[in-house]
Structure 1
Amino acid sequence: MAEPSQMTRNMLAMILLCVVLTAVAQLILKAGMSSASVQKQLQSGPSVQTVWTVLFNAQVFGGLVLYGLSTCLWLVVLARVDVSLAYPFVALGFVITALCGHFVYGEAMTASRIAATALICAGVALLASS
């Protein structure tokens, strides 16, 4: 088995791109699942029609496509970087998603969420400097 290399700037950029794509996918999925057509279908209970309505909602479908793209890029990262170094960067997705949830969807940013977000950022910064 080939030894993964050290993280280069290109690999760091690819990791961050994966994280951003995943966070954007979350936001798009939220928009799709909050749409009137999906919400109406979800209220009618589980059925094949519900599955089709959700899967063929343009935003849900787009979010899933972004997840797929991010996964393909992540496979390249895993082939070249130690997983123990690369994977903690995924935590930045929580930060991006929380901030976007606040600014895009008006979700609350409580003191505990802000503190947790700061801890995540500090942990990733510490890891990146190691």
Structure 2
Amino acid sequence: MPLKDMLLCLGFSLALPAGQMLFKWGADYSRGIQGNFIAKVIFNYPLMGAFAWYGLTALFWFYILTRVPLSLAYPFSILGAGLVPILAWILFRETITPQAWLGYVIMLGGFLLIARSGA
């Protein structure tokens, strides 16, 4: 895979956890909003940011897929999935069990196996 395409895929893998952090921030922020569920959505600027971010991320993904085969690009999402719990641990002080840490290491190992195989 050309370096530019790899960097695009890495950017996508970082965009996914950024969106998840916005969703979590929005969920926490919604506790301070009075009203029903609709009000908690409409008046929730972190959640609106998450929706906008994921819309842009979807366009970015589409661009990547015009350049990179899906079988090569998609495994990069594993990296993003592995970053989400680490960021949740750092930013939101969420607890991660030793079994979960092991699972994330296995996920990373799976990504490395796929990357080495050239998918």
Name the TM tier (shorter chain): 0.7 to 0.9
Q: 1:37 Cα shift? A: 3.1
Partner of 1:63: 50
Q: Which runs of 4+ in 1 moved over 4 A?
A: none
When Rg is computed on C-alpha atoms for both structures, the one with the higher figure is 1
Q: How does 1:1-40 map to 2 (within 5 A)?
A: 7-35=1-29, 36-38=31-33, 40=34
SS at match of 1:109: coil
Measure, in 2, the Cα distance between the counterparts of 1:55 and 1:23. 23
Q: How does 1:1-130 map to 2 (within 5 A)?
A: 7-35=1-29, 36-38=31-33, 40-41=34-35, 44=36, 50-130=37-117
Which one-letter code corresponds to 1:75 in the other structure?
Answer: F
SS at match of 2:95: coil
Q: What are structure 2's unaligned runs of at least 5 residues?
A: none
Measure, in 2, the Cα distance between the counterparts of 1:95 and 1:66. 19
User: Residues 55 and 87 (structure 1 numbering): CA distance in 2 closer, same or farther, change over 3 Å?
Assistant: farther
Measure, in 2, the Cα distance between the counterparts of 1:70 and 1:58. 18
| Number of residues of Structure 1 aligned to a counterpart in Structure 2 | 116
Give yes or no for contact 2:17–2:84 (8 Å, CA) kept in 1. Answer: yes
Q: 1:31 Cα shift? A: 0.8
SS at match of 2:75: helix
Measure, in 2, the Cα distance between the counterparts of 1:24 and 1:124. 20
Measure, in 1, the Cα distance between the counterparts of 2:14 and 2:43. 23
Q: 1:25 Cα shift? A: 0.9
Question: What value does the CA root-mean-square deviation take over the aligned residues?
Answer: 1.5
Which one-letter code corresponds to 1:110 in the other structure?
Answer: T
Q: 1:129 Cα shift? A: 2.0
